[in-house]
Structure 1
Amino acid sequence: MAKVIVYSKTWCPFCVRAKALLTQKSVDFEEINIGAEPEKRDEMIKLSGQHTVPQIFINEHHVGGCDELLAAEAQGELDRLLNT
């Protein structure tokens, strides 16, 4: 199974939605809460080039945020990413 990392914040509705989709698909993921671990924010920016959450990585591939994750699911791309 793929290694999935989600950079998020607790109060973020987009983070909640992205994590709900992954949970619905029975995907195990590592959550890095940059609200609780602010030093991880710089790491997220360096890896993604983005300042917003969530930022989602599958096997070190930067998927993007919630909108990109949902689009990948709608296009059938998410399953491919999760199974490589």
Structure 2
Amino acid sequence: MRAPGHGGYTVMEKAQVFDAMIAWAEMDIKPVADDVLNVETAANSTYGCAFARNKVGPDDSPAAINTRSTIAPALAAWSSG
């Protein structure tokens, strides 16, 4: 997920990542991911947007809630294009 730090993940995103990690460890189902080693991919304004869920819940931190407004333009551009 594209975020300006590591504190901007929602509870839903953390749960999805954890589930994907368990599926990989227990069933050898490798999760889909952005190519973090590709400089062009990482520099793209839509990098990480495929994995962002722009919904917040009552258990989300202020950092996660604030991140949603920060990344909203990139998410909108990615989903429309």
Q: TM-score, normalised by structure 2?
A: 0.30
Larger relative strand fraction? 1
Larger relative helix fraction? 2
Q: Who wins on radius of gyration, i.e. which is larger?
A: 2
Q: TM-score, normalised by structure 1?
A: 0.29
Identify which of structures 1 and 2 has the higher relative contact order when contacts are C-alpha pairs closer than 8 Å and 6+ apart.
2
